A and B are shown apart, each in its own frame.
Chain A
Amino acid sequence: MKLGQALALLAQSRALPIGDSAFVACGFEPLHLLPLLEAHYLGRFPDKRLQLATGVYGDLEGNARRAFDQEQTLVFLLVEYSDLDPRLGLRAAAPWSASHEADVLDGVKRKLQRLYDLLEPLTKRALVVASLPTLPLTHHGHTPAAQASHFQLGLEREIADFALACSRSKHVRILDSTELARRSPPLERLDVRSEFATGFPYRTPHTSALASQLIALGFAQAPKKGLITDLDDTLWSGIVGEVGADAIAWSQAEHAQIHGLYQLFLQQLSDAGVLLGAVSKNTPSVVQAALTRELWLQSERLYPTIASWGPKSDAVARILETWNVNADAVVFVDDSALELAEVQQAHPGLTTLSFNGNEPEKVLALLERLRDLFGKPVIERDDALRAGSLRRVSDFELERSAQPQLEFLRSLNGELTVETSKDPDNTRLLSLLNKTNQFNLDGARRSESEWRAFVAEPGSFVLGFSYTDKFGPLGTIGLMAGRVAEDGTHEVLHWVLSCRAFSRRIEHHMTECLLQRANNGRVSFTPVANERNAPFFDFLRSLGVDDPGGTVVLCRGEHSPKLAPLPHRTSSK
């Protein structure tokens, strides 16, 4: 994005409400970085603006300290070499030659340690998105340009050690230097004139690339939830119906390594909680025979696998139904352009991507794209449960259909655990809020920084619900959060229940739990209908609330008796 485009966008959007705010901590004058950050934010959220606060020129460490005292729960931290030692910048006024190198290195190490010490408490209340030196050292060191100097390597090691230590925190996101280099060539980043004249060291294209990556990390997109893959010439090389199960291939020895790589990549996705399914135009027994071979992807991870001779769009529809996931959260991969088009037409929200085994570089680009689409900042404990719980839900549904409901639910030996502690570090609940559509009070989403600010409010409450029964644990499946009014009424702002936990009356347990917690026995909330959250309104109707049309108030005396009999044990922690 050009500076002029950014400024024009901001000029047109100045009447919009403030959506989020962030603190920019850097040692340089952040001039054009600010409008470009705001403009890239508008690119993500066209209906609201980003408000930015900044520190003072030439004091990165002080600005990191100032960030701690600010109200913003998102901090963009930009470190350049000159912030670590002025001798490493263009405005140097002291020598850096060989006899001073050890001193510079030592100073850099100590400065980074102090910065780390500042970040640790800062991350207790804010998400920190950090960009580490993006400007190359061009004239330091005694070696010819082609040779890395001991000095430069030492500096890079200190930076890498700092980045590694920071990355252990769930609340620090380090900008990926390779991805940035793809968007902004390292030697085209520095604006020498601007640095001398204004103290702003970046050329506009670099500023824009940096801003777009900072926004991408500060306001991460919800990752896709599931991937449906074709089998023949995609998961493996060969048409299993023609060559037989023994002749399909996916290894280097069989000249089909790119398919093996794809399998290993899918295994990685599955381990991170991504749902995997497979569709194939084949006879089911033929596919079954192929899946009994020792693939590099554990074949049981493909659930469900649908082999049929019907349109693939029908098979995809069945998988979406089994997963209870919307098409827009799912990616479909196939080697056939025709199949991709047929599925895309039937499921316009689906992301369809081509697998071309004859062009391995395109497959590698596909894996890179998939990594981005499914990428999540951290893997939560519940992620590993997700794929397994899907099978458990399926077993549950089979058994449920065979017995009277209450008797069946009691036989589950279910246990619902309510977690009442307000832990800003618990991002599992935020993740649940931001990916749950059906049983959802109003479909509202929150950014990580908004969530952390909300959790930190003295009057807020956050209840996380996890569930297990004889079929196994479903992990964290529910959230109720809001504020306690002066009269004790619990005003619910967020209420979600994962579709994996439907049909167990857990929503009734949740309601009763909150009615019991409210001193005055009153719970209020304002549901907003959208095209996906009908299950929430079905539940309200079961309580006699037919047409909410505004704020709903539930009272212990009136509504507790309307709740269905509660079948599970509950406990708090």
Chain B
Amino acid sequence: MADLETRVLDCFSNVFPDVAREALRTATQDTIPNWDSVAHITLFASLAEEFAFELDYESAEAVHSFAEAMEYVRAHATNP
């Protein structure tokens, strides 16, 4: 299985396919114009599916960047 960061990056890349993978590593909601509320829910639903955790929408709302998403996944993943 790919490492955790690659898997998170895959999820980001699927939701924001027009952003280069390298740029995604440093991405924030401000640097990706398409990162709106729908994309946010889609991204977290995709992360929840990939890392087999029950999505808590409220806490996910506090995530605004790739780095924070990594932290969130580390804290919630049941299959890291």
Contacts and interface: CB of A to CB of B under 8 A. Distances in A.
Interface string A20-49: 000000000001100100000000000000
A417 interface: no
Contact of B54 (A4, A7, A193, A200): A193
A194 B57 CA distance: 8
Interface in A153-203: 193-194, 197-198, 200
Q: Determine the interface band of chain B, counting residues with CB < 8 A from chain A.
A: 10 to 19
Interface of B is mostly: helix
Given A4-B50, A7-B46, A204-B49, A197 B14 contact: no
Contact of B45 (A8, A10, A204): A204
Given A8-B10, A31-B38, A3 B45 contact: yes
A2 interface: yes
A31 B38 CA distance: 7
A11 B45 contact: no
Contacts of A193: 54-57
A255 interface: no
A2 B46 CA distance: 9
A10 B14 CA distance: 8
B70 interface: no
A192 to B, nearest CB: 11
B3 interface: no
Interface of A is mostly: helix
A573 interface: no
A198 B45 CA distance: 11
Interface in A138-161: none
B41 to A, nearest CB: 5
A14 B56 CA distance: 30
B57 A11 contact: no
Contact of B11 (A4, A14, A200): A4
Q: Which of B45, B50, B54 has the most CB of A within 10 A?
A: B45
B75 to A, nearest CB: 18
Given A193-B57, A197-B58, A198-B57, A4 B41 contact: no
Interface of B: 10-11, 13-15, 17-18, 38, 41-42, 45-46, 49-50, 54-58
Interface of A: 2-4, 7-8, 10-11, 14, 31-32, 35, 193-194, 197-198, 200, 204
Given A7-B42, A8-B14, A31-B41, 12 more contacts: A2-B49, A3-B42, A4-B14, A4-B46, A7-B46, A10-B17, A31-B38, A32-B42, A197-B57, A198-B41, A198-B57, A204-B49
17 contacts: A2-B49, A7-B11, A7-B14, A8-B10, A10-B17, A11-B14, A11-B17, A14-B18, A31-B38, A31-B45, A35-B42, A194-B45, A194-B55, A197-B58, A198-B41, A204-B45, A204-B49
